[in-house]
Structure 1
């Protein structure tokens, strides 16, 4: 896996913690995932002007289609795997979120299949999904066209700052009504 150049944690809140759980084999090594996620999260905080209390934490769970299908069924009543799910951990205290931002869960087979179908690097697609997931923890959504346009615009800007091509360039804007 070729990760984007590490941006460091300069754009993250002070003492920001990234808790990584690898629950299945097949994912890149934890150090590579941590570098990719730190870069993606830092870019999201910088480009979307996200704000969280110092000492905030996000939990990233790297699992498989079977586990995410179960979560998707139990929490969203959709009995199918998906690429990423976000579970917010706190409401903002004024303008700031944290300290527990929430959990973001990724499904290996779906992420790999989508990267293959789009003919992009796995790391670029995973970076996009990390960005997508953290935006959900900050109340961005895509339930209607207006929300989808705002969220996708932020994703495009964040990914462009990392040198990653627009993931929506060949797809029409699509709200997720469920």
Structure 2
């Protein structure tokens, strides 16, 4: 697969995954779904996450990952599938609260967000089950346990 990941670091948070890890996780999510893809991943602090979540989802709180799928104009083919905005502080806090290894939770958030970029969703129960099953399958291939099981 031809993949380009534009990684933007706009946070002072520590213990961030490296570019190779982000590439591995996006590639795993897109395996069998796309031959070519370009994704922008922006790592942010809670202030930026909250502002974006409020603007785009009407929720006045920071969140772990926001997905912004890209739709090209008709007749124009591009590899860009969209942008992910991930709040490093929220991901770290959730990993601790859920007693999960930090890198495992990062992998889950990147895979979850990437699947949103290519059309997967969890609005209704059937969609949620399909998306969660796919996430678990992808994570399993990376030797990461089911993130939906309680620790």
What is the TM-score normalised by the length of structure 2?
0.91
- Gapped runs of 5+ residues in structure 1? 1-12, 172-178
Counterpart-to-counterpart distance in 2, 1:153 and 1:91: 29
Deviation of 1:91 (Å) = 5.5
Alignment counterpart, residue 38 of structure 2, candidates 50, 57, 70: 57
Q: TM-score, normalised by structure 1?
A: 0.78
Matched, 1:34 2:15: no
2:67 to 67, 72, 86: 86
More strand by percentage: 2
For residues 15 and 38 of structure 2, what CA distance do their matches in structure 1 show? 22
In 1, the alpha carbon distance for the partners of 2:90 and 2:102 equals 11
Shift of residue 38 of structure 1? 1.3
Q: For the Cα contact (< 8 Å) 1:73–1:80, is it kept in 2?
A: yes
Aligned to 2:100: 120
Total equivalences in the alignment:
150
> Distance in 1 between the 2:101 and 2:123 partners?
28
**CA offset at residue 18 of structure 1?**
0.6
SS, match of residue 86 in structure 2: strand
Aligned pair 1:73/2:30, yes or no? Answer: no
Q: CA deviation at 1:170?
A: 2.5
What SS does the aligned partner of 1:19 have? strand
1:92, distance to aligned residue in structure 2 (A) = 9.9
1:21 alignment counterpart? 8
What is the deviation of 1:71? Answer: 0.3
Determine the structure 2 residue equivalent to 1:160.
Answer: 140
Tell me if structure 2 keeps the 8 A contact 1:37–1:130: yes
RMSD (CA atoms): 2.1
